[in-house]
Amino acid sequence: MPVYKAPLKEMRFLLHEVFGYEREVASLPGYGEATADVVDAVLEEAAKLCEKELQPLNLSGDKEGCTYENGVVRTPKGFKQAYDTFREGGWTGLTCDPKYGGQGLPKVLGFAFEELVSSANMSFGMYPGLSHGAYNAIELHANDELKNTYLPKLTDGTWSGTMCLTEPHCGTDLGMIKTRAVPADKGSGDDGSFRITGTKIFISAGEHDLTENIVHLVLAKLPDAPPGIKGISLFLVPKFLPKKGANGLEAGPANGVRCGSIEHKMGIKASSTCVINFEDSKGWLIGKKHKGMRAMFAMMNAARLGVGVQGLAIAEVAYQNAANYAKDRIQGRSLKGAKSPEKPADSIIVHPDVRRMLLKARAMTEAARALAVWTGMRIDVYAKHPDPAVRQEADDFVALMTPIIKALFTDHGFEAANLAVQVHGGHGYIHEYGVEQFVRDARITQLYEGTNGIQALDLVGRKLPAGGGRLLRRFFHPMQAYLEANMADPGLSEFVSPLVKAFSRLQQLTLFVAQQGLADPEEAGAAASEYLRFFGLVALGWMWCRMAKAAQAKIAAGADAEGFHAAKLATARFFFNKVLPETAALGLSIMAGKKPLMELSEAAF
């Protein structure tokens, strides 16, 4: 059976020792009560929930999956009870506005909580995760009437939410959607509603038995819509129309929203992925007509960061299981002689190749978590800082990091899960050990919310040129300042020196990709995925420098009795000696240009 232990020590190290949570976040307006003690206490309770309630359902939920019959979807055994516990504990409103019944806690805490939930049970996490994305879009773009009607219900978790983009004939190219919206007959009460008709596919949490109502955010086109994505509008379409009841607002009559089927998938089988048919359904416009993509991107960008955290989460739980197995499984002897002569064999963790796999997963995961925490803090700065210039800088940084986090973290999650299978050997291929599920669950993260190739195109095509390079400067300038400030520190030289070289190369490649892309867009496209990985590895290297510095400070102060900080330095050394050198090969491949990709004729494939 798979195991999971929430990495609270890792999270506390990052929040308090590396990034200075009290200084960076707790000091912001509105977060005064979210002290370090409060955050630690919340994470402790979150760990109990995830370890005791959610993780035990992960393997059984995968085996049972969701069931569909006559438009009704039922989640696996135990999911409804777990969701009720989740909702009653206030976890659905952790970072939501107190105005709508939320706790108003920092977004970075929400990031940490998302990781815990997804490590314990990624399928379960899809349901509240989609709801929170819908909450964000409604809060940012809907009118007050829609906010006051739907946000309290999404906050307390009695209602859930979805995002409905994809259609059978279009995925990434949303300008091709056929779902239509027409103004409702004014004689029906003239409530400003529209009638929505169309079919959406791949709708996560589109139908289930966990909540009383489901609020769909649907992309559709009005009769006067201009062609392409400029003609898309966003509508709020509830499964049941709200009505006033004895205890306030409740789900009323059905609204012409029906689940046509559920998908039978490779992974996340306990998450219902649905075909949803809208049949003259009543909906309300969110934001302005023909400006739906702007509103939906509020949800999509948050979702992309959330998917990145899912990749991190799978990597963490896969590593934990692989490390435990490697310490327990005895096979063969150490190449230098028996380590456990009293046993018939040594544990496989003595073997260099097993250590290589474990350390690759660990080094990437710990750095990814650091980048996630730092990015979460930037979201809080954007939300709460009194200085508009500081808020803009933070928002720019998050925008730049979004495609990197989504693609890099999910690629890593899938790789770490595969490494866990390899460490387990034949047992990794067996369902009861649980690690093969991690591989299957991780695979979708590289696909949904925009495939990782799309993330790379977003980075080179949109983020690099944005504002004349303004977004890039939000990363390059502070990193340059950090390296210059720490270059002379002899204790950090083994980490800073290789990062300086990689960072310099990143700057050169950025200029190369920009210049080549201006002359020929296919050149930028050919370099995009490798450039994103190069950029991401440099960002993770920066995180490792910061972690190494914090660890050295604790060791120097004699505060490392358990060896936690010494382990941090050892893992940092692995990253800089065994992982960061990947950038050399990536750089050579980027410089090779598009010709190796494009010269083969289409007919030859």
CB distance 206 to 130 below 8 Å: no
| CA-closest candidate to residue 160, choices 203, 198, 193, 115 | 203
Measured from the Cβ of residue 562, the count of other Cβ atoms closer than 10 Å reads: 9
| Helix ranges restricted to H, 385-459 | 388-424, 435-443, 452-458
Q: Quick one: CA dihedral 46, 372, 140, 455, positive or negative?
A: negative
| CA-closest candidate to residue 136, choices 305, 378, 256 | 305
Distance (Å, rounded) from C-alpha 454 to C-alpha 313? 22
**301 by DSSP, 3-state: which?**
helix
SS3 per residue for 303-346: HHHHHHHHHHHHHHHHHHHHHHHHHHCECCCCCCCCCCCCCCCC
Task: State which H helix or E strand residue 282 sits in.
Answer: strand 273-286
CB distance 458 to 400 below 8 Å: no
Strands 159-164 and 180-183: unpaired
Strands 180-183 and 248-254: unpaired
Only one residue has tokens 């490494």, namely 419
Question: Over the range 456-467, which residues count as b (16 or more CB within 10 Å of their CB) and which as e?
Answer: bbbbbbebbbee
Q: Computed over its alpha carbons, how large is the radius of gyration of the chain?
A: 25
Is 449 among the catalytic positions? yes
Question: How many whole angstroms from its chain centre is CA 232?
Answer: 25
Distance (Å, rounded) from C-alpha 574 to C-alpha 143? 52
Distance (Å, rounded) from C-alpha 299 to C-alpha 133? 5
DSSP notation for 176-192: G---EEEEPPGGGT--S
Distance (Å, rounded) from C-alpha 52 to C-alpha 47? 8
> Which amino acid, one-letter code, is at 583?
T
Of the candidates 17, 449, 523, 530, the residue annotated as catalytic is 449
Q: Quick one: CA dihedral 137, 140, 144, 149, positive or negative?
A: positive
Active site amino acids: 449
